[in-house]
A and B are shown apart, each in its own frame.
Chain A
Amino acid sequence: MALFEVFQTTFFLTLLSLRTYQSEVLAERVPLTPVSLKVSTNSARQSLHLQWTVQNLPYHQELKMVFQIQISRIETSNVIWVGNYSTTVKWNQVLHWSWESELPLECATHFVRIKSVVDDARFPEPNFWSNWSSWEEVSGKETSTERLKKPCKVTTPLSVQDSLGQDILFVFPKDKLVEEGANVTICYISRNIQNNVSCYWEGKQIYGEQLDPHVSVFHLSSVPFIRKTGADMYCEVSQGNVSTSIKGIVLFVSKVLEEPKDFSCETRDFKTLHCTWDPGVDTALGWSKQPSQSYTLFESFSGEKKLCTHQNWCNWQITQDSQETYNFTLIAENYLRKRSVNILFNLTHQVYPMNPFSVNFENVNATNAIMTWKVYSVKNNFTYLCQIEVYCEGKMKQQYNVSIKMNGEYFLSDLEPFTEYMARVRCAGASHFWKWSQWSGQNFTTLEAAPSEAPDVWRNVNSEPGSHIVTLFWKPLSKLHANGKILFYNVVVENLDKPSKSELHSVPAPAKSTKLTLDRHSYEIWVTANNSVGASPASIIVISADPENQEVEEERIADTEGRFSLSWKPQPGDVVGYVVDWCDHPQYTLCDLQWKNVGPNATSTVISTDAFRPGVRYNFRIYGLSTKRIACLLEKKTGYSQELAPSDNPHMLVDKLTSHSFTLSWKYYSTESQPGFIQGYHVYLKSKARQCHPRFERAVLTDGSECCKYKIDNPEEKALIVDNLKPKSVYEIFVTPFTSAGEGPNATFTKVTTPDEHSSMLIYILLPMSFCVLLIMIGCYLKSQWIKETCYPDIPDPYKSSILSLIKFKEKPHLTIMNVSDCIPDAIEVVSKPEGTKIQFRKSLTETELTKPNYLYLLPTEKNHSGPVPFICFENLTYNQATSDSGSCGHVPVPMKPPPSQLGLMISPENVKKALGKNYMNSLGEISAGGTNLNYVSQLASPMSGDKDSLPTNPVEPSNCSEYKRQMAVPLCLASPPLTENSSLSSITLLNPGEHYR
């Protein structure tokens, strides 16, 4: 019963308390109204900030309430935004709420009111909204203009008021910072609606919408990043063309902050974590509007944070050895945005090992070596995975992976002898691969081994009487086969025909050939290459006793542009292979013999080498190698890697020139030494004739001139008869060879003039005539004595005189003629009359008194003849003009004249010699005026002949002279002996030729 009483009392009390509460709440439902609403503005953020309290809230009670806020613009009826704000309200709590306007708050007046409703689960429906609070006004334009005159009702930032002043134009917002792609609303407020306001965005005029007569609004949508110093929007009031006021804003558009990329952390020494990332674009703006984004590193397990000083990396000190797992958050932040990335990792998984060191090679021999290295010990029992790479000549040859703790070692095998290798190693964490360390490497060289391959040997055999001159050639072994430095080559020569001791020739490297003189036997030659370790396998070649077959026809091969495709008929019988040899430089004495070995089944090969030059003829010989290693010449090929046009033109000879034809020849032109196969010749002929001769065709030369062309297709035809020509015409001719690449060089044409048609006939006449004349002359020469005696004897034979015969015939049958031998000469008259000295002579004559005639009396006993003694005298005819003029050699009466007074001078040996010499040298037509000559004087001279130049001397009376005087001529060649007064010449007459031939 007591329990019942207790229960009943409790129930009553609970019910009572509930009723009491309900009655209280119900009593407060009407008065729960937002009061003390205050609105403030944040101009920079363009936000309205509301704060209010709730009246009549029970003491120490909390209620969930919903507040409805209404915002109007310009006028209260123009509600632009309505929204609810739910929160738990405490007793006496001041509530705050913000609203951001897209329109700068300065551009228009805003009105705000609020009402509330209880939204608490403890009070089920129905709930009633409170009454609206009164409208709170946030003035825009009015405050901007009127605020200076009256105090504001609401709190507005000072900056807005300050910026307004007494200006007539305002642009809002003030400078603004937005992110790229944002929409921005800008307005201008003009104090006077009459003002002509123009607005510009980045230099271009823009037009807005009018909010009221004073305010215009511009919506810039999705503004781009233009420059760090911001983009300018300005408005100006202008009167006419003059700007009276200008206002503007700088819109700072920031690039969008990017999320850091590739964020990672790693450690090299388990002491420091090095975190890196790609920061993306720098969002810094000028004028300190926004610095570059900052980066902060936050580790969640330790709760530590670090502001990074660099834009793309940050170091984090590891303080706790025990911490193995890290959870890093990288926060990038600027004024507008915050971005973050997160990584969670185990420290041992992010190991970037230090580079290996002390890389060494031990026990290096020809084919293997042991590589050792070390790594830094960073943590106990940390295992590294190391990678080894072996390089040779820049190419990787081997690669190995090996796990180590601290000291690494690896056995490198399969190496080549005498080769320089580079081995390198790098390491990474073995348990979890994160990153390789840098490479650490070292070079080493393996030791030498004996050459592994026989040298490639070939020979050239020159057969001489009784011997073979064998030149052996070998190619140096490749590095791969030489296995060391080749020191010398051993050549062992063994006679196969008769047993004898082998000969060893050691040829020091780097020689590549040697010459052997062998007799006419078969020889086997072994060639080995030797280095410091040993000898290579031998290369065997056999020289046959028979001379090499040279009677193989040479075959031409076509242009192949640097490559020669050779093919041959397979040799009957067993062959072990073929060899093609050629000279790389056939134009030189050391032609650099090359050869190529071809397998036994091949019947063709391509020879290609950089040594081939255009315009050079290469000769290839193809040998078959028998099983006995004897080489047999199979074929010869010749060709050009590229044919060129001939380098020179033939030297052309023109002969057999007639008035209608001539023959051209160039037989000495060598077709073999040309830079291409000569295919023939082009003969160009130029003439005045318009039409070409038969067989010639019209052609145009490179200089544009036209001519006629004849083509000779046979390179060995080196002559051409050009006929059908016109006599006495000029022809220009030019011969040039041609190859497949073209003609020879341009050269000058040779002119050929055909002779006159009759001139040849003239030659036919003249030649025999000349021959006849020549014969006659020779005959005359041979019979000159006879002719002389017959035609013009020195002393005419009176017996043979025609007069005599006439006399004989007409008058006396018997006539006695005096014999010359009967006449004894008694004097020689020497006459001299040099023209140039005539006057002097006269003078001297006047000065020197010569009273006696200059007769040299040959008969001294008859010094003073007074009586008429018969004698022959030679008279001086120098002054006998009549004699000269008569032109006859005798029968002209010559007066007896005294000898010139200067005779003594003239007969001196020197003078005579000089005079004669001069005469000897001069022809008749060139006789000088002062010369001296001989004349024959007729003894039938008339003593009565006058001489106008005669001197007043005592003339010798000629009365005692005989009728006939002896004449003598002194040949000029005989004048050389000195003539003295005592000379025993019969008669010398010196005459002035000028006078004489006057």
Chain B
Amino acid sequence: MDSWYPRMAKPWDSWGMLACLCTVLWHLPAVPALNRTGDLGPGPSIQKTYDLTRYLEHQLRSLAGTYLNYLGPPFNEPDFNPPRLGAETLPRATVDLEVWRSLNDKLRLTQNYEAYSHLLCYLRGLNRQAATAELRRSLAHFCTSLQGLLGSIAGVMAALGYPLPQPLPGTEPTWTPGPAHSDFLQKMDDFWLLKELQTWLWRSAKDFNRLKKKMQPPAAAVTLHLGAHGF
């Protein structure tokens, strides 16, 4: 209970505090973390991107349910886990943990950007073939959100000074069912598209969380720095 009561500073304490404050104010411009006045860095945009991935993850959950029901069994069965046949063009989200850890920021962001660029394209193809208006609406809404995520990633990359990956000529992903592609395989592709999208959103959440932590201002360092001045 004692701690709740303010203690009167002794006269020599007041003088000491004032001296310390002046010292701190004198040295503030020298603290690197506080040096960027007005420029908050990529931190907020990474946070926004992270939030967007979580939102899209939630949004995809309901969309996938609707779409897989539209495909019918076995695609809407919870334990349906087919081998990943076909759908080779889909960017794989799964990666070895060590490899993932060793990714640098640029590569990490580039992989995310490229993956969503492809996935967005495939998703638009999905939208075109959807038979019901309601499903088309949901897909269009999701595509818009995904487009937003792509823009957000681009923003983070720009903030960090990384260039956007340029697609090689002729390698733009296009949704073409092709005459030899059976409807069953097409359904399988759709299934894997949604599944891969979900995995990518999980991975992106981890990616951006990692980036976020990395980009956070070193608050501990500031404290230590100030502590050296008498606190």
**A residues whose Cβ falls under 8 Å from a Cβ of B:** 158-159, 162-163, 171, 174-175, 200, 202-203, 226-232, 234, 236, 243-250, 252, 286-289
Known A158-B180, A159-B180, A229-B70; 16 more pairs at CB < 8 Å: A163-B182, A174-B182, A175-B183, A202-B72, A203-B74, A229-B71, A232-B72, A232-B187, A243-B82, A244-B83, A245-B83, A249-B183, A250-B182, A250-B184, A286-B129, A287-B129
A203-B73, A287-B186 known; A159-B85 Cβ under 8 A: no
Q: In the assembled complex, which residues on chain A have CB atoms less than 8 Å from the CB atom of B186?
A: 287
Q: In the assembled complex, which residues on chain B have CB atoms less than 8 Å from the CB atom of A175?
A: 182-184
Are B82 and A236 in touch, CB under 8 angstroms?
yes
Are B72 and A234 in touch, CB under 8 angstroms?
no
Q: In the assembled complex, which residues on chain A have CB atoms less than 8 Å from the CB atom of B131?
A: 228-229, 286-287
Are B180 and A162 in touch, CB under 8 angstroms?
yes
From B186, which residue of chain A is reached at the shortest CB distance? A287
Q: In the assembled complex, which residues on chain A have CB atoms less than 8 Å from the CB atom of B75?
A: 232
Q: In the assembled complex, which residues on chain B have CB atoms less than 8 Å from the CB atom of A234?
A: 74, 184
Are B180 and A246 in touch, CB under 8 angstroms?
no
Q: Does B81 contact A (CB under 8 A)?
A: yes
Bound complex: CA of A245 vs CA of B83, how far in Å?
A: 6
Bound complex: CA of A575 vs CA of B46, how far in Å?
A: 107
- Which 8 pairs from chain A and chain B are nearest by CB? A203-B73, A286-B131, A250-B183, A175-B183, A248-B184, A246-B82, A162-B180, A250-B184
Bound complex: CA of A174 vs CA of B81, how far in Å?
A: 22
Other-chain contact of B77, A159, A203, A288 (Cβ < 8 Å): A203
Bound complex: CA of A249 vs CA of B186, how far in Å?
A: 10
Are A246 and B85 in touch, CB under 8 angstroms?
yes
B63 to chain A, nearest CB (A): 16
Q: Does B170 contact A (CB under 8 A)?
A: no
Q: How many residues of B contact A (CB 8 A)?
A: 21
Q: In the assembled complex, which residues on chain B have CB atoms less than 8 Å from the CB atom of A286?
A: 129, 131
Q: Does B179 contact A (CB under 8 A)?
A: yes
Q: In the assembled complex, which residues on chain B have CB atoms less than 8 Å from the CB atom of A228?
A: 131
Are B180 and A227 in touch, CB under 8 angstroms?
no
- Which one of A202, A230, A232 has the greatest number of beta carbons of chain B within 10 Å? A232
Q: Is the interface of B mostly helix, strand, loop or mixed?
A: loop
Bound complex: CA of A935 vs CA of B183, how far in Å?
A: 139
Bound complex: CA of A96 vs CA of B230, how far in Å?
A: 103
From A163, which residue of chain B is reached at the shortest CB distance? B180
Are A247 and B184 in touch, CB under 8 angstroms?
yes
Q: In the assembled complex, which residues on chain B have CB atoms less than 8 Å from the CB atom of A246?
A: 82-83, 85, 188
Are A288 and B129 in touch, CB under 8 angstroms?
yes
Q: In the assembled complex, which residues on chain A have CB atoms less than 8 Å from the CB atom of B85?
A: 245-246
A225 to chain B, nearest CB (A): 12
Q: In the assembled complex, which residues on chain A have CB atoms less than 8 Å from the CB atom of B187?
A: 229, 232, 250
B167-217: which residues lie under 8 A (CB-CB) from chain A?
A: 179-180, 182-184, 186-188
Bound complex: CA of A899 vs CA of B71, how far in Å?
A: 134
Bound complex: CA of A666 vs CA of B28, how far in Å?
A: 102
Enumerate 6 A-B pairs (CB-CB under 8 Å) in ascending A order. Answer: A175-B183, A230-B183, A232-B187, A236-B82, A286-B129, A287-B183
- Which one of A226, A236, A246, A289 has the greatest number of beta carbons of chain B within 10 Å? A246
From B86, which residue of chain A is reached at the shortest CB distance? A246
A203-B77, A286-B131, A287-B131 known; A227-B184 Cβ under 8 A: no
Other-chain contact of A200, B71, B74, B182, B183 (Cβ < 8 Å): B74
B46-74: which residues lie under 8 A (CB-CB) from chain A?
A: 70-74
A234-B74, A287-B129 known; A243-B183 Cβ under 8 A: no
**B residues whose Cβ falls under 8 Å from a Cβ of A:** 70-75, 77, 81-83, 85, 129, 131, 179-180, 182-184, 186-188
A662 to chain B, nearest CB (A): 74
Are B72 and A227 in touch, CB under 8 angstroms?
yes
Q: In the assembled complex, which residues on chain B have CB atoms less than 8 Å from the CB atom of A232?
A: 71-75, 184, 187
Are B73 and A202 in touch, CB under 8 angstroms?
yes
From A177, which residue of chain B is reached at the shortest CB distance? B183
Bound complex: CA of A174 vs CA of B72, how far in Å?
A: 18
A228-B131, A288-B129 known; A243-B74 Cβ under 8 A: no
Q: In the assembled complex, which residues on chain B have CB atoms less than 8 Å from the CB atom of A244?
A: 83
Bound complex: CA of A571 vs CA of B39, how far in Å?
A: 114
Bound complex: CA of A230 vs CA of B183, how far in Å?
A: 9
A220 to chain B, nearest CB (A): 15
A195 to chain B, nearest CB (A): 14
A787 to chain B, nearest CB (A): 92
Are A231 and B72 in touch, CB under 8 angstroms?
yes
From A285, which residue of chain B is reached at the shortest CB distance? B131
From A173, which residue of chain B is reached at the shortest CB distance? B182
B95 to chain A, nearest CB (A): 21
Q: In the assembled complex, which residues on chain B have CB atoms less than 8 Å from the CB atom of A162?
A: 180
A172 to chain B, nearest CB (A): 10
Bound complex: CA of A487 vs CA of B182, how far in Å?
A: 90
- Which one of A227, A229, A244 has the greatest number of beta carbons of chain B within 10 Å? A229
From A171, which residue of chain B is reached at the shortest CB distance? B184
Q: In the assembled complex, which residues on chain B have CB atoms less than 8 Å from the CB atom of A202?
A: 72-73
Q: In the assembled complex, which residues on chain A have CB atoms less than 8 Å from the CB atom of B70?
A: 227, 229
From B74, which residue of chain A is reached at the shortest CB distance? A203
From A162, which residue of chain B is reached at the shortest CB distance? B180
From B73, which residue of chain A is reached at the shortest CB distance? A203
Bound complex: CA of A252 vs CA of B184, how far in Å?
A: 11
- Which one of B77, B129, B182, B183 has the greatest number of beta carbons of chain A within 10 Å? B183
Bound complex: CA of A405 vs CA of B61, how far in Å?
A: 70
B103 to chain A, nearest CB (A): 29
Bound complex: CA of A548 vs CA of B2, how far in Å?
A: 104
Q: In the assembled complex, which residues on chain B have CB atoms less than 8 Å from the CB atom of A252?
A: 183
Bound complex: CA of A787 vs CA of B67, how far in Å?
A: 128
Bound complex: CA of A243 vs CA of B75, how far in Å?
A: 15
Q: In the assembled complex, which residues on chain A have CB atoms less than 8 Å from the CB atom of B129?
A: 286-288
- Which one of B72, B129, B188 has the greatest number of beta carbons of chain A within 10 Å? B72
Are B179 and A159 in touch, CB under 8 angstroms?
yes
Bound complex: CA of A675 vs CA of B75, how far in Å?
A: 76
From B179, which residue of chain A is reached at the shortest CB distance? A159
B64 to chain A, nearest CB (A): 15
Bound complex: CA of A719 vs CA of B179, how far in Å?
A: 110
Bound complex: CA of A174 vs CA of B182, how far in Å?
A: 7
Bound complex: CA of A203 vs CA of B83, how far in Å?
A: 17
Q: In the assembled complex, which residues on chain A have CB atoms less than 8 Å from the CB atom of B188?
A: 246, 248
Q: In the assembled complex, which residues on chain A have CB atoms less than 8 Å from the CB atom of B184?
A: 171, 175, 232, 234, 247-250
From B130, which residue of chain A is reached at the shortest CB distance? A286
From B178, which residue of chain A is reached at the shortest CB distance? A162
B178 to chain A, nearest CB (A): 10
Q: In the assembled complex, which residues on chain B have CB atoms less than 8 Å from the CB atom of A247?
A: 184
Bound complex: CA of A162 vs CA of B185, how far in Å?
A: 14
A175 to chain B, nearest CB (A): 4
From B83, which residue of chain A is reached at the shortest CB distance? A243
A236 to chain B, nearest CB (A): 7
From A203, which residue of chain B is reached at the shortest CB distance? B73
B192 to chain A, nearest CB (A): 11
From B184, which residue of chain A is reached at the shortest CB distance? A248
Bound complex: CA of A27 vs CA of B182, how far in Å?
A: 55
Bound complex: CA of A314 vs CA of B132, how far in Å?
A: 26
Q: In the assembled complex, which residues on chain A have CB atoms less than 8 Å from the CB atom of B179?
A: 159
A148 to chain B, nearest CB (A): 14
Bound complex: CA of A832 vs CA of B199, how far in Å?
A: 121
A162-B180, A163-B182, A250-B182 known; A226-B83 Cβ under 8 A: no
Bound complex: CA of A227 vs CA of B68, how far in Å?
A: 13
Are B72 and A243 in touch, CB under 8 angstroms?
no
Bound complex: CA of A227 vs CA of B83, how far in Å?
A: 25
Q: In the assembled complex, which residues on chain B have CB atoms less than 8 Å from the CB atom of A248?
A: 184, 188
B7 to chain A, nearest CB (A): 68
Q: In the assembled complex, which residues on chain B have CB atoms less than 8 Å from the CB atom of A249?
A: 182-184
A244 to chain B, nearest CB (A): 6
Bound complex: CA of A795 vs CA of B186, how far in Å?
A: 148
Bound complex: CA of A243 vs CA of B188, how far in Å?
A: 14
Bound complex: CA of A163 vs CA of B188, how far in Å?
A: 15
Bound complex: CA of A665 vs CA of B183, how far in Å?
A: 101
From A160, which residue of chain B is reached at the shortest CB distance? B180
Q: In the assembled complex, which residues on chain B have CB atoms less than 8 Å from the CB atom of A159?
A: 179-180
